[in-house]
């Protein structure tokens, strides 16, 4: 079937470009509302990115660490989400980030103690 852009597009492949993708909410609200940016989200993002790189986990077929705008889970902030699993984490310090990198991003084991409670939204 031709694509709306005029060229035939290849079907989606089952493999992903990255094995895992972690997004950190770095949203900063201007109206004084609580947000992940007020709880050290940028430092956690930086820590995760450096730990992933140091462990040799970054790059195609491995792990990608990305910034995100509001992920709409402010009540649990700061938050990050790992795909393809869709696992939501709340963290407080470098030890938490190191554990997410080692356990989940490297070894595929979810860190149960850091899971964001499912009912927490904005």
Q: What is the mean pLDDT of residues 48-72?
A: 96
Residues in Cβ contact with 32 at an 8 Å cutoff, skipping those fewer than 6 apart: none
d(CA 7, CA 116): 42
d(CA 69, CA 89): 16
86 closest CA partner among 116, 45, 44, 46 = 116
If pLDDT is split at 50, 70 and 90, which confidence band does 47 have? very high
Q: What is the mean pLDDT of residues 103-109?
A: 96
Q: What is the pLDDT of residue 16?
A: 79
If pLDDT is split at 50, 70 and 90, which confidence band does 8 have? very low
Q: What is the pLDDT of residue 4?
A: 43
């Amino acid at each position: 079937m031709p694509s709306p852009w005029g060229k035939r597009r290849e079907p989606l492949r089952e493999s992903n470009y990255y094995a895992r993708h972690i997004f950190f909410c770095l949203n900063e609200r201007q109206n004084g509302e609580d947000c992940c940016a007020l709880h050290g989200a940028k430092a956690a993002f930086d820590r995760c990115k450096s730990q992933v790189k140091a462990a040799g986990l970054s790059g195609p077929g491995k792990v990608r660490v990305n910034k995100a705008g509001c992920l709409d889970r402010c009540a649990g902030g700061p938050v990050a989400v790992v795909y393809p699993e869709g696992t939501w984490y709340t963290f407080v310090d470098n030890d938490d980030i190191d554990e997410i990198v080692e356990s989940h991003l490297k070894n595929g084991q979810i860190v149960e103690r850091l899971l964001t409670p499912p009912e927490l939204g904005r």
